[in-house]
Amino acid sequence: MSLNGRLKARAASFARTAYPPILGSLRRVLSERQLQRFILVCDRLKGWLLKEAVVVPSPSPMALPPWIVDEMKALARIEPALYPSAAKLRVFTSWKAPIDNGPAQLYRGCLADFIEYAPDMVFLVPHLQRGGADLGILHHVRLCAEMGVKVTVVVTRDVVSPWLNRLPAEVRVVEFGRLGNLLGEEDRRLVLLRLLLQCPARSIHIINSQLAWELLERHGKTLTFEGKRIYASVFCDDLDGNAVRCGYASEFLPRSWMHLAGLLSDNRTFLQQIHERDGIPPELMHGLYFPASDHAEAIPTAGSTILWASRISPQKRPDLLYEIALALPEYLFEVHGEVDPACRGETQRKLRRLPNVRLHGRYDSFQALARQGRYAMLLYTSRYDGLPNILLEATAAGLPIVAPDVGGIAEFLNTETGYLVGADADAGEFARAIRSALGNPGETARRVKRARELLTRRHGWAAFRDAARNIPGYLPGGVRPEQEVSMETEPVSG
Does residue 491 lie within any of the structural domains?
Answer: no
- Do 134 and 173 lie in a common domain? yes
Tell me: pLDDT of 135 over 80: yes
Query: Is the pLDDT score of 480 beyond 80?
Result: no
Residues 239, 113 share a domain: yes
Res. 145 pLDDT band, cuts 50 70 90: very high
pLDDT band with cut points at 50, 70 and 90 for residue 23: confident
Residue 488's pLDDT is 46
Say yes or no to pLDDT of 450 above 80.
Answer: yes
Whether 127 and 209 share a structural domain = yes
Collect contacts of 48-53 with beta carbons under 8 A, ≥24 apart. Answer: 48/8, 49/8, 49/11, 49/12, 49/15, 49/182, 50/12, 50/182, 51/8, 52/1, 52/2, 52/4, 52/5, 52/8, 52/9, 53/8, 53/9, 53/11, 53/12, 53/13, 53/182
pLDDT digits (tens, 9 = 90+) for 310-367: 988 889 999 999 999 999 999 999 999 888 887 877 888 899 999 999 999 888 788 8
Confidence at residue 268, expressed as pLDDT on a 0 to 100 scale: 96
- Mean pLDDT comparison of 23-27, 110-114, 367-371, highest-scoring range: 110-114
Question: Which carries the bigger pLDDT value, residue 81 or residue 303?
Answer: 81
More confident residue, 484 or 63: 63
- Asked whether the predicted pLDDT for residue 491 surpasses 70, the reply is no
Digit-coded pLDDT (tens) for 162-216 = 899 999 999 999 999 999 998 989 999 999 999 999 999 999 999 999 999 999 9
Residues 221 and 352 in one domain: no
Q: List Cβ neighbours of 118 (8 Å cut-off, separation of 6 or more).
A: 150, 200
Q: What is the CATH number of the domain that holds 417?
A: 3.40.50.2000
Please count the structural domains in the chain.
Answer: 3
At 59, the pLDDT band (50, 70, 90 cuts) reads low
Residue 372 has pLDDT above 60, yes or no: yes
Same domain, 69 and 214: no
pLDDT of 492: 36
* pLDDT confidence of residue 242: 80
Q: Which pLDDT does position 2 carry in this prediction?
A: 52
Per-residue model confidence (pLDDT) at position 358: 93
* Whether 325 and 243 share a structural domain: no
| Inside any domain, residue 297 | no
Confidence class of residue 95 from pLDDT cuts 50, 70 and 90? Answer: low
Question: Span 219-244, mean pLDDT?
Answer: 92
Instruction: Please tell me whether residues 134 and 242 are part of one structural domain.
Output: yes
pTM above 0.85, yes or no: no
Q: What is the extent of the structural domain holding 124?
A: 102-287
Most confident region among 37-41, 285-289, 473-477 by mean pLDDT: 285-289
Residue 278's pLDDT is what? 93
pLDDT band for position 6 (cuts 50, 70, 90)? low
Mean pLDDT for 75-86 is: 89
Question: What pLDDT score does 408 carry?
Answer: 95
Q: In this model, does residue 113 exceed pLDDT 90?
A: yes
Q: Tell me: pLDDT of 428 over 70.
A: yes
Kindly state whether residue 487 falls inside one of the protein's structural domains: no
Which H or E run includes 63? Answer: none
Residue 483 has pLDDT above 70, yes or no: no
Is residue 260 one of the residues assigned to a domain?
A: yes
Same domain, 313 and 391: yes
- Residue 83 dihedral angles phi and psi, to the nearest 5°: -60, 130
Q: Is the pLDDT of residue 486 over 50?
A: no
Q: With 50 as the cut, is the pLDDT of residue 60 above it?
A: yes
Distance CA 207, CA 134 (A): 9
For the beta sheet containing 357-361, the strands, ordered from the edge strand earlier in sequence to the opposite edge, are 357-361, 332-336, 305-309, 377-379, 401-404, 419-421
- Which of 38-52, 231-245, 342-356, 385-399 is least confident? 38-52
Does a structural domain hold residue 349?
Answer: yes
Same domain, 406 and 370: yes
Residue finishing a domain among 240, 257, 287: 287
Give yes or no: residues 71 and 182 share one domain: no
Together in a domain, 116 and 225: yes
Query: Higher confidence at residue 348 or residue 465?
Result: 465
Q: Are residues 22 and 81 in the same domain?
A: yes
DSSP string, 364-399: S-HHHHHHT---SEEE---SS-SS-HHHHHHHHTT-
